[in-house]
Structure 1
Amino acid sequence: MIDELNLRLLTELSADPRLRTTELARRLGVSAPTVRERVARLEESGVIRGYRLEVDPAAFGLPVAAWVRLRPGPGQIPRIIALAERTPEVVECHRISGEDCFLIRVQVPTIAGLEGVLDKFLVHGQTTSSFVVSSPVPPRSVPLVRQMGTDHR
């Protein structure tokens, strides 16, 4: 599925997901129908999972980001998942290994604003929070290189 052309296509789309089909075709040296067909196949197969709009949370009054680790009480995992889904301040929720079972990123208006979000989760388990001070490496796409038998030390 991921041949050299698809890898080049994905690299271009990772750098700029808004590229028009004609520009992609020009950069890749193929026809626009070829690009459309390959993008469609990559979407259908799940290689391309979607396209995102990234906005500045501060522009919406939510400048404070925090990561919350959550250690659930017995039988609380389904409740925590449901609560995370319906809490708008939760922008990411990951099930993780280790003593804590969840890693949740929240966006709130103020540091004090985190209290209300934490209170919702505290009935289901123990939380530990860390505020984001800066993000020297912004979110980015995964490296588009196939890792075949590579030692990652």
Structure 2
Amino acid sequence: MKLDSIHSRILNLLQKNARISNTEIAKQVGISSPAVAERIKKMEDLGVISKYMAQVNYSALGYGLRALITVRAFMGRLKPFLHQVKSYKEVINCYRITGNENIVMEVVFENQQHLEIFIDELITYGETKTQIILSNVVAHHPIDKI
């Protein structure tokens, strides 16, 4: 689907606040509320919008430390890891990647001790590299910049 400027503006508003009303979107983009609803439904049907979700503030839940951890799996340990990683409550996102490492995960921890315990578990599957996340520079790109 090729997005026009109105579709792009609707998507940007939904990315900032998935609970925004069609009426408010209509005011901001200059079309009627039913037209907004129709455009959103079309984007959902075509898979452009795949889901709506809440953005969680993990710090408010007691997870003050975030990190990116890469794993280079030992021979024969990737499949067991892929099964096990789904059970780790600390993992926010996990991706299989190309390159020297097999996996990159975004994870949250209560503190450094929690991180250390988690890494001790991971090293049974492969070599790890950990980078502590200091801040989020880009939350998402407005769709018209892609």
Residues 31 and 143 (structure 1 numbering): CA distance in 2 closer, same or farther, change over 3 Å?
Answer: closer
Residue in 1 that maps onto 2:39:
38
- 1:35-81 superposed Cα distances (whole Å, 9 cap, x missing partner): 11211121222211222322221221111112111000123222222
Which ranges in structure 1 are unaligned for 5 or more consecutive residues?
Answer: 148-153
Output the CA distance in 1 between the equivalents of 2:15 and 2:62. 28
Residues 143 and 18 (structure 1 numbering): CA distance in 2 closer, same or farther, change over 3 Å?
Answer: same
**Structure 1 ranges of 4+ moved more than 3 A:** none
Residue correspondence of structure 1 range 40-59 to structure 2 within 5 A: 40-59=41-60
- 1:125-149 superposed Cα distances (whole Å, 9 cap, x missing partner): 11111222x2051x422331265xx
- 1:95-153 superposed Cα distances (whole Å, 9 cap, x missing partner): 12211111112111110111222222221111111222x2051x422331265xxxxxx
- Structure 1-normalised TM-score? 0.83
Output the CA distance in 1 between the equivalents of 2:44 and 2:123. 39
Is contact 2:5–2:144 with CA below 8 Å preserved after alignment?
A: no
2:31 alignment partner AA: V
Of structures 1 and 2, the one scoring higher in RCO (CA 8 A, sep 6+) is: 2
Residue in 2 that maps onto 1:64:
65
Which ranges in structure 2 are unaligned for 5 or more consecutive residues?
Answer: none
Residue in 2 that maps onto 1:144:
143
1:69 alignment partner AA: T
Residue in 2 that maps onto 1:135:
135
Q: How many residues align?
A: 145
Residue in 2 that maps onto 1:151:
none
Q: Percent identity, aligned pairs only? A: 28
Output the CA distance in 2 between the equivalents of 1:65 and 1:136. 11
Output the CA distance in 2 between the equivalents of 1:119 and 1:17. 38
SS in 1 for 2:143: coil
